[in-house]
Structure 1
C-alpha cells in the first residue's frame, strides 16, 4: 500500500513539474514583437529593391516607392526608425524566419501558401497580374499566347498565376530574378511577361511607346504586409497606424503622389 501511495505521489509530482514546464514554455512564447522593435527603436523592412513603384532604387541609389513612403510614415508615428533591407525575393520567407528582417512590405500578395508560413496583415491595396508585351507585338490577348516565351519573376505570385492560367499552358515560361530584368528582355528573347499591374503601368508610363499592358487580367490579388506567424502585436500596431493615416488623409496623399489617385483599400 505504501509503495502504491509513493508511486501515486511520484506520478503527481512529475505531472506538476510538466505543468510548470508548460507554463514556462508559454511565457517564453509570449508575443514581444512590438516591444522588441520599440526596444531597438527600429523596424527592419525586407524588400525587392527593383519593384517600382512599390519599392525600388532610384538613379541616386536611394530606395524609394509607395510602400516605402507608407512605412516611413508608420514608423515615424510609432516613434522608431525604418531600416530598408534589400533581400532575394525568392528566399524572403527564410529572411523573415531567421530574424534578419521584421516584415516583408513590398507589393506582397496574399496567397494560401504564404498564409501558411507567415502572418499576413489586412489588405491595403488591390492588384492584378497582367500580360505585358512589346508595343508592336501581335499578341492582343491571352488567347494569342501559344508557344511564345513568357517571363515571370521567380518566387512571385505571377509565377503561381501563370501555372493556373489555361491560356498559358503551352507557353515557354522563363523564371527570372526581377521585373526590371524581365522588361529589359521583353522583345529581346521574351515575347511577353506576366507581372503586377502597378509595376506594368509604371513602366508603360515611364517608357512611353515601348510596352503595352493588355486588358486581360491573369488574376486579381490583394497586397498585404508579411510578419512572422507569432508577431501579432507588431502587425496590429502597423495596421492601426495605417488606419489612422487613412482617417486623416495621409494615405490618400501618398497614393495620389504615386498613382495620381487614391487606390488604397484600407479603411
Structure 2
C-alpha cells in the first residue's frame, strides 16, 4: 500500500510540474504579444479596390494590404473571410469574424452595435451612369431605375429617406456592386449609387462604359474598422498599430499603390 501511495504521489507531483511549465510557456507567449490564433477579418470580396479577388482568385485590395501590415505588426496570423455584407453585424456579433475591414462607413446606427477605430479615409455616395448618358442632375434621374448594394450606406440612406427614394421608378438592390455595374452596362438600370472610391476605381477599369456624375447622395462619411462591442482590447491594439503605420508613412504608401496618391485621413 505504501508503494502504491508513493507512486500516486509521484505521478501527481509530475502532473503539477508539467502544468506549471505549460502555464509559464503560455504567459511567456502572451508577453511577447504573439498568438497562433488568427485574426479573422470579414469582408465583401467583390468590393474593389478595398477587397476583392484578383485573376488568381486571391483576395487583394487596399484594406487587405492595411490589414496584413497591421496583423504582421501585432505578430498575429490573419484570415480573410468572405461574408454576406448585408449580414455583417450578425457575423461580428456571433464571433464568426473578429473584425469588419472593407470600406465600412462609420454611422451612428452602426455605433450602437459595433466598436469603431478612428476614421482613416473620407467617403461619399455618388451616382455613376453609362458613358453615353446625358444624366447630369438629380432631376434627370426622376422616374429612372437606380441600383445599389444591399447593406451599403447608400441603401441605408435611401431606406431612411423615403421621400428622396420615391422620385426614382425603382431602387434595385444587389449582393455586390459588380453585378450592379454589369446591369448598368447592359441597360437594365439607369444609374448606380456607390462609394465614390469604389465607383472611381471601377470606372477606371471600364473607362469606355461608365462615368461619374456630380450627383452626391446623402452626406460625406468616414471609413472605419469595426469590432464587436465587447472587444475593446483588440480595437485598441489595432488602433495602436494603425497610428504607427500612419506616422511612419506606411498607410500613405499603400494608398499611393492603389489610388496613385495619398487620399487617407490626415
Q: TM-score band, normalised by the shorter chain?
A: 0.7 to 0.9
Q: Counterparts of 1:211 and 1:81 in 2: how far apart (Å)?
A: 39
Q: Which runs of 5+ in 1 are unaligned?
A: 1-33
For 2:114, which of 118, 122, 128 is the aligned residue?
118
- Are 2:97 and 1:97 aligned? no
The structural deviation recorded for 1:165 is 7.8
- Are 2:172 and 1:174 aligned? yes
- Are 2:74 and 1:74 aligned? no
- Determine if contact 2:136/2:215 at 8 Å carries over to the other structure: no
The structural deviation recorded for 1:166 is 5.3
What's 1:54 paired with?
50
- Are 2:79 and 1:83 aligned? yes
After superposing on structure 2, the runs of 4+ consecutive aligned residues of structure 1 that deviate more than 2 Å are 37-41, 161-169
The structural deviation recorded for 1:40 is 3.8
Q: Please report the TM-score for the alignment, with normalisation by the length of structure 1.
A: 0.83
The structural deviation recorded for 1:39 is 3.8
Q: Cα–Cα, structure 1 residues 166 and 209, in superposed 2: closer, same or farther, change >3 Å?
A: farther
Kindly report the root-mean-square deviation, in angstroms, between the aligned alpha carbons of the 2 structures: 1.7
Q: Cα–Cα, structure 1 residues 103 and 82, in superposed 2: closer, same or farther, change >3 Å?
A: same
Q: Secondary structure at the match of 1:186?
A: helix
- Are 2:217 and 1:218 aligned? yes
What's 1:237 paired with?
237
Give 1:240-259 correspondences, 5 Å limit: 240-259=240-259
Q: Counterparts of 2:162 and 2:215 in 1: how far apart (Å)?
A: 12
The structural deviation recorded for 1:92 is 0.7
Q: Counterparts of 1:252 and 1:246 in 2: how far apart (Å)?
A: 7
Q: Which runs of 5+ in 2 are unaligned?
A: 1-29
1:63-119 superposed Cα distances (whole Å, 9 cap, x missing partner): 000000000000010111110000000111111111111010000011121111111
Q: Secondary structure at the match of 2:192?
A: strand
- Determine if contact 2:36/2:77 at 8 Å carries over to the other structure: no
The structural deviation recorded for 1:228 is 0.3
My pick for the range that moved more, 37-46 or 71-80, is: 37-46
Give 1:5-24 correspondences, 5 Å limit: none
